Chains A and B, each alone.
Chain A
Amino acid sequence: MLITADMKMADLIHLDFQLLAVIQRIGINLGFREKTIDEVCKENDVDTDFFIQIARSFHDKDYFPKEKFFTFKAEWLIHFLRRTHQCILEYKIPEIEEKIKLMVEDLKETTRNYELIKNFFTEYIRELRVHMELEETQVFPYVLALSECIESKTKTEGFEKYFNEYNIQRYLEDHNDIEEKVFDLKNILIKYLPPPTDSCKYNSLLFEIFKLEKDLQDHSKLEDKVLIPKVKLMENELENL
């Protein structure tokens, strides 16, 4: 079903509960009563079209209006990406970590194997943090400053001072793949670890890992296919001011 602005927000969640993540990250709280998507967005100062396009692309992987995304404000996109980082680092990762810890405690005999998984994941979290921190402390502030320059039609003082030497190409060169290790972890758990005794716990761990992988894929897609090309357009615009 095509998601439209006159649809009720509550119905949207019934249609696809995974969109709860989008709703939360775009900055909308639950408790919609009978309000439509458009009404809820307006109340929360969220651009309705931006919400619709994001919701449609997360709901249907064939739907991805790249050109349309370029027309939205860089600030909106960055806000959304930041909330995703926050949600992944502060909530999803600790949850998986906790589940792995429980497993290690549960399986005394094969602990060595599970210890191995724990270390693998710990190393991964470290990498993930470095990756996201770089985006938060360099890339996003750069994009926001760039957007300010375009709005005021001149290179601002702050931009000259901090970002004159920076460009998005530099970020692109070391924007590494953060999904690969999650992919590996999934396969190691499914194919190579000796089966655990409590498969209910084990399945719920795997389930979380699948969800994390999907989350990271959607996130990277927005960064690679929307943010980076959009910033390139913005850089050109600034050059030609």
Chain B
Amino acid sequence: MVRILVAEPSYLVRKGLSTILNELKTVTQIEEISSADEIREALTSIIPNMIIINTTISSMPQVEEDIRKHTPDAAVISIFNTPIPKNTNEKTLSVFDDKSVLINKLRSQVKSVQQTYIQQENSEELSEREREVLQKIALGKTNKEVANELFISTHTVISHRKNITRKLGIKTVSGLTVYAILNQIISMEDIS
């Protein structure tokens, strides 16, 4: 499933894009937002693989930084409110593009996202390192403690945690603990 975030102030354009994306028949989850203040929340809650963003939003302070920070791997496609020359970069759209241009650009982008995404995420299995991190988190250890025990940086622990959450669909520590017990990564006795 490709998760797409559409960040576009105009309701009409937003709906138009969603309609075209739905026509592509790739299984996608589309989330729409209309302003820069909603972006951080959307990035962390749906963790999009692809972001289609109007330049009036991406040019707001902090927005690009947030995207880089929360979803560094997402493909970012810009929408311009002005006409753009033909044959430009596939990662730019204009509200004046006609249907065939839009469909082509979007399809090839979604396809390429899907390929990388399938390769990386079909291995829903946790890596060895992620299992180790999960085990320690489930035992109630803080990011810092985990970092010390595994001789890695806190930053690395956080990025492992993000991947664990994305792969398992579990966000909270208590949820991860339940998962760890169900899968015998830790035992019930360990926590009591």
Give the B-binding residues of A (Cβ under 8 A). Answer: 62, 112-113, 116-117, 120, 123-124, 180-181, 183-185, 187-188, 191-193
Cβ–Cβ contact B182 & A116, under 8 A = yes
Besides A116-B178, A120-B175, 6 more A-B contacts (Cβ < 8 Å) are: A116-B181, A120-B178, A184-B172, A187-B175, A188-B170, A188-B182
Q: What is the predominant secondary structure among interface residues of chain A facing chain B? A: helix
Contact between chains at B11 and A117 (CB < 8 Å): no
Task: List chain B positions with a Cβ less than 8 A from chain A.
Answer: 11, 32, 168-172, 174-175, 178-179, 181-183, 188
Q: Which residues of B contact A185 (CB under 8 A)?
A: 175
Contact of B168 among A112, A120, A187 (CB under 8 A): A187
A185-B175, A187-B169 known; A192-B183 Cβ under 8 A: yes
A116 CA / B188 CA spacing, docked (Å): 9
Q: Is the interface of B mostly helix, strand, loop or mixed?
A: helix
Which chain A residue lies CB-closest to B182?
A192
A185 to B178, CA, bound (A): 9
CB neighbours of A187 from chain B (8 A): 168-170, 175
CB distance from B182 to the nearest CB of A (A): 5
**CB–CB A184/B171 < 8 A:** yes
- Expressed in whole angstroms, the Cα–Cα distance for A62 and B168 within the complex equals 29
A184 contacts B170, C-beta separation under 8 Å: yes
B32 x A181 contact (CB < 8 A): no
Q: Which residue of A lies closest to B11 (CB)?
A: A62
- Asked if B179 and A188 make an inter-chain contact with CB atoms under 8 angstroms apart, the answer reads yes
A112 to B168, CA, bound (A): 21
In the complex, A116 Cα to B11 Cα: how many Å? 45
A residues in contact with B179, CB < 8 Å: 188, 192
Find out whether the CB atom of A180 lies under 8 angstroms from the CB atom of B171. Answer: yes
CA distance A124 to B178 in the complex (A): 13
Chain B: CB-nearest residue to A120 = B178
- A193-B175 contact, Cβ under 8 Å, with A62-B11, A112-B188, A187-B168: no
User: In the assembled complex, which residues on chain B have CB atoms less than 8 Å from the CB atom of A112?
Assistant: 188
**A114 → chain B, closest Cβ, in Å?**
11
Q: Which 10 A-B pairs rank lowest in CB-CB distance, beginning with the nearest?
A: A184-B175, A187-B169, A184-B170, A180-B171, A180-B172, A120-B178, A184-B172, A181-B172, A192-B182, A116-B178
Q: Across the interface, which residues of A come within 8 angstroms of B183, CB to CB?
A: 192
Contacts of A193 in B (CB 8 A): 182
